[in-house]
Amino acid sequence: MITQAMTLDRYLWQQQKAFNIPVELSILISQIGYTAKILTREISRAALVGQLGLVGDKNATGDAQKKLDVFSNQTIIEAFSDTGLVAALASEELEMAKFMDCRNHTPYVLCIDPLDGSSNIDSSGALGTIFGVYQRKTYNGCCSVEQDILRSGTEMVAAGYILYGTSTVLVCTCGHGVNGFTLDTSLGEFLLSHLNLQCPSESKYYSANLSYAQEWQPHIQKLIVHLNQQHTSLRYSGALVADVHRSLIEGGVYLYPSTPDYPDGKLRLLYECAPLAFIVEQAGGMAITETKRVLELQPLSIHQRSPLIIGSKATLTLYEQMLQA
């Protein structure tokens, strides 16, 4: 595949032909690309148009909502309203599932973290969006949280993230490898920039909020000691997307482990851990809770949390050996 002049839409068309990807899934991802352009614009001018700071409410997982969290969520909803693509939506910023269009032929369920790393907003740090797509299961005119949304990650048909960093990069998979597209803002197009991404096996970096390190399980602490002994450099951005993207490009591991007070850690399974696990596995990396493969977890509720260790295969394999020792 040539990378020159490979717009996201042209790539999706090729994927459609090569792997029988349904046209509706291509359009869904293309529409995510459109929301990424809107968010790129709004994030970059947030300080100028009164979009910094808090709204004053908390979301379902207790996070103080920022204005850009709410804007991002609304942008997603508007991008998929009346498209006949998304039957049901689970979002970090919506307490309940939103049934958008439960007519029989509406094919997909979207799980999304509209804006990841929102503590970085006011200091112009990296931000992200994370999404996972499932084929809808119900076809009787009504949608169901249990049947359509609470699905194991192994059933995901597509996943992706957008990193709003020094450039905006959209990384996605439909289960046939991982590719990355960089937004050319002068053209308003995502162009293929990272063909067939492969996560390096060894970790050059690790990312974790070490202020909790003393509360982690002994085997996690042992891994951290090992990484420090190897002079694996610490990089922690406060945005999961940015840290996982670095791990994918350079080799690395991101950890958000359990603590006694938070036995499931902080991150949310459906719209943070599982989509990133799908992408990283597709790129040859690994993603586990602390003991299990993330993609095999069966969610019991929309905002369920899960511990996460994700990234380079050699590091995760070493961790598993430490666990079994």
Q: State the catalytic residue, choosing from 25, 42, 113, 267.
A: 113
In the complex with ligand AHG, the residue whose CB is nearer, 113 or 290, is: 113
Q: Which residue do the tokens 């990234």 mark?
A: 311
Question: Catalytic residue at 69?
Answer: yes
Q: State the catalytic residue, choosing from 39, 94, 115, 170.
A: 115
Distance CA 290, CA 263 (A): 11
Q: Is 270 annotated as a binding residue?
A: no
Q: Total residues contacting Mn ion (rule CB under 5 A)?
A: 5
Give the DSSP H/E element, type plus range, for residue 56: strand 54-58
The two tokens of residue 158 are 């597509």
When asked if residue 240 is in the footprint of ligand AHG (CB under 6 A), the reply is: yes
Q: State the catalytic residue, choosing from 85, 89, 93, 150.
A: 93
The two tokens of residue 321 are 């050996």
Distance CA 14, CA 111 (A): 25
Question: Catalytic residue at 101?
Answer: no
Candidates 81, 209, 298, 321; binder of ligand AHG (CB under 6 A) is: 209
The two tokens of residue 186 are 């002068």
SS3 206: strand
- Considering only residues 48 through 67, tell me which ones interact with Mn ion, judged by CB under 5 A: 63
Question: Catalytic residue at 276?
Answer: no
CB-facing half-sphere around the CA of 319: CA atoms within 13 A: 31
When asked if residue 238 is in the footprint of ligand AHG (CB under 6 A), the reply is: yes
Question: Catalytic residue at 272?
Answer: yes
Three-class HEC string of 41-71 = HHHHCHHHCCCCCEEEEECCCCCEEEHHHHH
Number of CB atoms found within 10 A of residue 225's CB: 11
Please give the DSSP secondary-structure letter assigned to residue 19: H
CA distances from 147 to 152, 156, 220 (A): 11, 13, 35
Q: State the catalytic residue, choosing from 92, 148, 189, 243.
A: 92
Q: Is 92 annotated as a binding residue?
A: yes
Question: Catalytic residue at 296?
Answer: no
When asked if residue 113 is in the footprint of ligand AHG (CB under 6 A), the reply is: yes
Q: Are 231 and 280 in contact (CB under 8 A)?
A: no
When asked if residue 239 is in the footprint of ligand AHG (CB under 6 A), the reply is: yes
In the complex with ligand AHG, the residue whose CB is nearer, 119 or 196, is: 119
Question: Catalytic residue at 113?
Answer: yes
Least distance to ligand AHG, CB of residue 267, Å: 6
Distance CA 54, CA 37 (A): 23
Question: Catalytic residue at 78?
Answer: no
Name the site residues for Mn ion (rule: CB under 5 A): 63, 92, 113, 115-116
Q: Which residues are annotated as a binding site for substrate?
A: 116-119, 209, 236, 254-256, 266
Contacting residues toward ligand AHG, per CB under 6 A: 63, 92, 113, 116-119, 209, 238-240, 266
Q: Give the residue numbers annotated as catalytic, written as ranges.
A: 63, 69, 92-93, 113, 115-116, 272
